[in-house]
Amino acid sequence: MGLEKYCIYIRKSRKDMEAEERGEGDTLARHEAALMDLAHKMGLHITAIYKEIVSGETIAARPVMQQLLNEIEQNVWSGVLVMEIERLARGDTIDQGIVAQAFKYSNTKIITPLKTYDPTNEYDEEYFEFGLFMSRREYKTINRRLQRGRIASVKEGKYVGNIPPYGYQRVKLAHDKGFTLSPDPQEAPIVQNIFNWYLYGIPSEDKSHIGISLIARRLNDLNIPTRRGGSWTGATVITILRNPVYAGYVKWNARPHIKHSVNGQITAYRPRASFDEMLLAQGMHPALIDIKTFESVQDMLKNNPQKSVPGKYIVKNPLAGLIICGSCGRKMVRRPYSNGQAPSIMCADPQCPNISSYLHLVEDHIIKSLNEVLQNILLDAEKTEVRNAKIKEKASLEKSLQSLNAQLEKNQAQFDALYDLVEQGIYDRQTFLMRSNKLHEKALELKNQIEKASAQLNNIIQTTEESQELIPKIQSILQAYETNKSAETKNALLKSVIERVIYVKNSKDDPAGFEITIYPKLSSVYFDNL
């Protein structure tokens, strides 16, 4: 028995309601019986039945369908049984596209009494897409109308975005369709300060100009949160400085969606358009800064462009890309000092409480851990009791796997009997689903136990084979690391055996008072307790 889960989706259409009024019987009951019979014949494990009794034209009006699509996107179901494709996508072309993509990208089958649509089968995909061909044409027509409507709204000065920019609130127009913006009393002064600091500086601190990074640092020092409650960065500051909405304008096509083909693969990106490329119109909303200030800021940004990353990045940190902050999850970076002090390793977020340490101390600790790994392997290879213990463990796991597989076969037999009990009237739908879910949960438990035991067995076999290979590999890495002076080469050596290192330090009192957790690419058994 496969452990794949299937569900049934039945929906009552307007035609079904009209038929019921004519006395043609309960549509949902007939469809449920037909699909249950289909599942029995195909040997499918049904664990849920979804019923939609509202006749909505769109997915937004169909809450059961929304739930089902959400589960499909999360790969909960291997397939959905439905009487016909149209039951999933009523005919609205936008909704059809949503449904088609959800099934396609999750590889979820659509099973009807006439045909099974497998998204991994190119012919099934073509057959399914052909059925939606005319709908897609209509969708494009509708989309063009929507685009024209939004462009017309922008030209009228309305705000067409769903999320207002920092400093504003999105408000419904009182006597017209659409939305505009209203200054946020808490955020608007912050936006004005950002523009003034960048352009004029802070006279009280004798600063005629503040750069983007210093503005972000100042906002963080003042404990001013971003819209999402995070820390300010240079990227968030410059996004505000470049947005013409603060000068009283609304925009369209500021981030055009561009697709192109690279080696046969379609990629999409959204570059920032220049002011000449986007549509700008005078907005209905009040400006937070005057146009002269905005233009002056843009001139300064042009004259002070952000430094570009060199084509060939020179690695100066042997731990580059390996150390992860245990507090915030960001990568730790090397911090050099101009006063001759040894470089440190620190979190990239200046607001992170994780305390920095000298880079060479962290590096020495990692090399020490690798030496301990080597000694563990050499010691295990010399111990007869270790080899005997592995032989006994291997035999025990093999016996356990035989028992678990026998239980899984019994579980399959019990599931096969469920449909017979339904047909005999012993089980109703609720009892069937309850028993089906319990059997499925038991099967999953058995499968997990089998996978765990198999992994343990494979690990014993693998570590036995790898132990002799690991000894010369680690020895060569340690020897090369000791004699090599290139940070780039050292970095490559460490990355060949280490996936990442989690770093935590809570006190400044002890220079070596940090904790690191190594996640190796080598067999984890040799890295325990390091």
In angstroms, rounded to a whole number, what is the distance separating the alpha carbons of residues 271 and 253? 10
pLDDT at 208 over 70: no
Do both 521 and 390 map to the same domain? yes
Do both 104 and 174 map to the same domain? no
Do both 231 and 368 map to the same domain? no
Q: Encode pLDDT of 328-375 as tens digits.
A: 888 888 888 877 888 999 887 777 889 999 999 999 998 888 888 777
Give the residue-averaged pLDDT of 316-337.
Answer: 87
- Domain boundary among the residues 255, 286, 303 is at 303
In angstroms, rounded to a whole number, what is the distance separating the alpha carbons of residues 97 and 439? 35
Q: What is the model's pLDDT at position 258?
A: 66
pLDDT at 314 over 70: no
Give the residue-averaged pLDDT of 425-431.
Answer: 81
Do both 71 and 194 map to the same domain? no
Residue 311 lies in a domain: no
Phi/psi-derived region of residue 21, left when phi > 0, alpha when psi is between -120 and 50, beta in every other case: alpha
pLDDT at 309 over 50: no
Residue 252 lies in a domain: yes
Do both 172 and 135 map to the same domain? no
Residue 163 lies in a domain: no
Do both 239 and 277 map to the same domain? yes
Q: Encode pLDDT of 473-501 as tens digits.
A: 777 888 888 888 888 888 888 888 788 89
Residue 522 lies in a domain: yes
Residue 156 lies in a domain: no
- Domain boundary among the residues 280, 303, 326 is at 303
Higher pLDDT, 121 or 114: 114
Do both 10 and 114 map to the same domain? yes
In angstroms, rounded to a whole number, what is the distance separating the alpha carbons of residues 323 and 363? 10
- Domain boundary among the residues 278, 303, 328 is at 303
Residue 230 lies in a domain: yes
Which residues, listed in sequence order, are joined to residue 501 by a DSSP beta bridge?
323, 518
Domain of 79, CATH number, reads 3.40.50.1390
Do both 93 and 185 map to the same domain? no
Structure tokens at 227: 């819209």
In angstroms, rounded to a whole number, what is the distance separating the alpha carbons of residues 455 and 191? 56
Query: Buried b vs exposed e over 211-233: b needs ≥16 C-beta within 10 Å?
Result: ebebbbbbbbeeeeebeeeebbb
Phi, psi of 284 (to 5 degrees): -80, -15
In angstroms, rounded to a whole number, what is the distance separating the alpha carbons of residues 255 and 242? 13
Among 300-309, 338-347, 506-515, which is the least confidently predicted range? 300-309
CA triple 394-396-402, angle to 5 deg = 105
Q: Encode pLDDT of 363-414 as tens digits.
A: 999 888 888 877 776 666 555 555 566 677 778 888 888 888 888 888 888 8
Among 164-173, 231-240, 411-420, which is the least confidently predicted range? 411-420
- How many domains is the chain partitioned into structurally? 3
DSSP 434-483: HHHHHHHHHHHHHHHHHHHHHHHHHHHHHHHHHHHHHHHHHHHHHHHHHH
Q: What is the model's pLDDT at position 310?
A: 45
In angstroms, rounded to a whole number, what is the distance separating the alpha carbons of residues 89 and 58? 8
Residue 325 lies in a domain: no
Do both 24 and 65 map to the same domain? yes
Do both 133 and 197 map to the same domain? no
In angstroms, rounded to a whole number, what is the distance separating the alpha carbons of residues 103 and 120? 10
Residue 351 lies in a domain: no
Query: Buried b vs exposed e over 295-306: b needs ≥16 C-beta within 10 Å?
Result: ebbeeeeeeeee
In angstroms, rounded to a whole number, what is the distance separating the alpha carbons of residues 311 and 288? 39
Q: What's the chain's average pLDDT?
A: 80
Q: What is the model's pLDDT at position 288?
A: 95
Do both 133 and 201 map to the same domain? no
Q: Encode pLDDT of 3-25 as tens digits.
A: 688 999 998 766 666 666 666 56
pTM above threshold 0.85: no
> Shortest CA distance to 481 belongs to which of 318, 338, 350?
318
Domain of 196, CATH number, reads 3.90.1750.20
Do both 108 and 202 map to the same domain? no
Structure tokens at 454: 């198999």
Instruction: Give me the domain span that covers residue 50.
Output: 6-139
In angstroms, rounded to a whole number, what is the distance separating the alpha carbons of residues 53 and 15? 13
To the nearest 10°, the Cα dihedral for 330, 333, 337, 340? 130
Measured in Å, how far apart are the chain's first and last C-alpha atoms? Answer: 42
